[in-house]
Amino acid sequence: MSSFNHRKYRPFPPVAKTDRRWPDNVIEHAPDWCSVDLRDGNQALIEPMTPSQKLSMFQLLVDVGFKEIEVGFPAASQPDFDFVRQLIEQDLVPDDVTIQVLTQAREPLIARSFEALQGARSAIMHLYNSTSTVQREQVFKMSREEIRGISVQGAIWVRDYAAAQPETAWQFQYSPESFTNTEMDYAVEICDAVIDVWQPTPGNKAIINLPATVEVATPNVYADQIETICDQIGRRDCVRISLHTHNDRGCGIAAAELGVMAGADRIEGTLLGNGERTGNMDIVTMAMNLYSQGIDPELDFSDMDRIINVVEACTQLAVHPRHPYAGELVFAAFSGSHQDAINKCLLIDEQERRLKGPDTHWKVAYLPIDPRDVGRTYQEVIRINSQSGKGGVAYVMEQDYGLILPRWLQVDFSSHVQQFAERSETEVSTGQIRQIFQDTYIDVDMPITVESYQASRAKGSDQLTAMLLTQNGRIEISSDGKGILDAFVSAINSKLDSRLVLVDYSEHTLGDNEQSEAMAYVQLNINGKRFCGAGCSEDIVGASLRAVLNAVSRAGVRIDTGAAPVLEAIKIAN
Ligand code: KIV
Ligand code: ZN
């Protein structure tokens, strides 16, 4: 029999609520953030952080802008105790940062936690005990009253030990652990009982932290729970409601966001989501979500690579390449239609930004934020494989090599890149793309080159004489036309029994000074088939003539320098 039996599970009961307001609320400013990387995150690691890893994590958290940092569980771990002491004794905590430690509601542990914090300028003592039905009934085998007694007694010890260390500016925090599985009326009762002991004021608020210790329902249910607590708890103006979500259903961030809409003031989480089981709420993603809505997250993630490096080094966990905002692939587009759209939008964005300034609204398809904001470059945006199309290839050519391919050449060239990608079955690097371009349109087989030319311009008609070097020797050609290029094409035509027609032409310089080389692109119709060529030279005429001859050579047209010029069977290069 299959062990996969859904009847084993029950749906989470919805919160009975008729006055639900949070769905209409909009987050307008950043919550207070508290990092728990050094406590909850550290407790979840296969190998807990070493002292130097802890220090580098702490420094990162300070640099990113956290003002509240849970630095350990000193009563439960000697290394955590030592780390807290190191921070205080070496004066490593900036004046505007408050450290927090976690303690269970047992007197010796509370005493030890206060000992760890001796001499701290300011600190948060974070008291917790488990309050859920399952924990009460099966783990502790205690009644609601008995569990409330533990919380209240813990709160009394915290209050009294703090009073004995008046040199520290104390804040108190209480977590009814496993809150989401706790009856709401009981959660209110127990939080109120703790608040009654602590007697917070609007000037020195208590923190009531409501953990989704295990995520058990959809995020809207969590938001209902948070709104219920916010509505029913006493002295709301003296309390900061804090959220601490885990990610068991993969919705830890969504739950925290809806919880803020439901009235919470503060968020606990970790950088990139390390933490017990599926992790803690990822503060990077939540903060960047706010950022992408035009809200200052009050945390600075502009050096995302440093964040990734430190987190990976401290946790020994690799950041997933598709991790929101941070992963290596999250700004990369391989699909042709996406690349095309991104390419067009980026060009418009660049122009608008130049005209209207840096606050111009970001409206780029497929990119929720500007990758440059987190230290990424556009090179990482457009990546080429066999799924890619002309937009992406054109983008790479322009961004990396300054080659502005006209649309008709983009179409032609992308098919060459695609063939290469299909053959190699890998991503194609920008260097390889540039090489394919060179091999296809410039360093062509059996080239015909211009040895010298003379052009004269006159009103209505230009005259061109050129000495060509072919595989069979030299030949001089000459003609006039409406422009130098037209004259050149007619000069070649005069030596062939078939007709070349110039279909498209484009040129640009490769820099913005007088010494800059010129690049020309042409498309010829030769015997009903189209051939593209490109040419580079110090001057635009030389580049154009080379481009024409490269297209001619690609077509396999061999100019016989003897008696009769011959148009050989066309070798189709593409
Ligand atoms: O997940 C949790 O409930 C906790 C508490 C100790 C806050 O980490
Ligand atoms: Zn936790």
Domains of the chain as residue ranges with CATH: 22-315 (3.20.20.70), 449-555 (3.30.160.270)
Three-class secondary structure of residue 71 per DSSP: strand
Three-class secondary structure of residue 408 per DSSP: helix
Q: What is the mean pLDDT of residues 169-180?
A: 98
Distance 280 CA to ligand 2 centre (A): 6
Summarised one tens digit per residue, pLDDT across range 511-553 is 888 788 999 999 999 988 999 999 999 999 999 999 999 999 9
Residue 197 pLDDT greater than 90, yes or no: yes
Report the residue among 125, 128, 267 best suited for mutation to probe ligand 1: largest number of ligand atoms under 8 A from its CB: 128
Distance 96 CA to ligand 1 centre (A): 25
Summarised one tens digit per residue, pLDDT across range 420-440 is 999 999 999 999 999 999 999
Q: Which amino acid residue places its CA nearest to atom 2 of ligand 1?
A: 213
What was the pLDDT predicted at 572?
30
Confidence band, pLDDT 50/70/90 cuts, at residue 560: low
Report which DSSP code applies to 384: B
Do residues 75 and 104 lie in contact, with contact meaning Cβ atoms separated by under 8 Å? yes
Least reliable range by pLDDT among 123-127, 161-165, 452-456:
452-456
| Between 560 and 4, the higher pLDDT residue | 4
Least reliable range by pLDDT among 8-22, 98-112, 273-287, 327-341:
327-341
Q: Which amino acid residue places its CA nearest to atom 1 of ligand 1?
A: 213
Distance 298 CA to ligand 2 centre (A): 23
Q: Which amino acid residue places its CA nearest to atom 8 of ligand 1?
A: 40
Rounded Cα distance between 302 and 447, Å, is 50
Residue ranges lining ligand 1, Cβ < 6 Å: 40, 102, 128, 175, 177, 209, 211, 213, 244, 246
Placement of tokens 């990162």 in the chain: 60
State pTM to two decimals: 0.83
Residue 356 pLDDT greater than 60, yes or no: yes
Distance 251 CA to ligand 2 centre (A): 15
What was the pLDDT predicted at 218?
98
Confidence band, pLDDT 50/70/90 cuts, at residue 458: confident
**In 3D, which of 247, 264, 220 has the Cα closest to residue 34?**
264
Calculate the average pLDDT of the chain: 93
DSSP one-letter string for 266-301: EEEEBGGG--STT-B-BHHHHHHHHHTTT---SS--
Q: What is the mean pLDDT of residues 172-178?
A: 98
Residue 101 pLDDT greater than 90, yes or no: yes
Residue 495 pLDDT greater than 50, yes or no: yes
Residue 564 pLDDT greater than 70, yes or no: no
Least reliable range by pLDDT among 233-237, 381-385, 545-549:
381-385
Residue 570 pLDDT greater than 60, yes or no: no
Q: What is the mean pLDDT of residues 314-336?
A: 94
Do residues 377 and 371 lie in contact, with contact meaning Cβ atoms separated by under 8 Å? yes
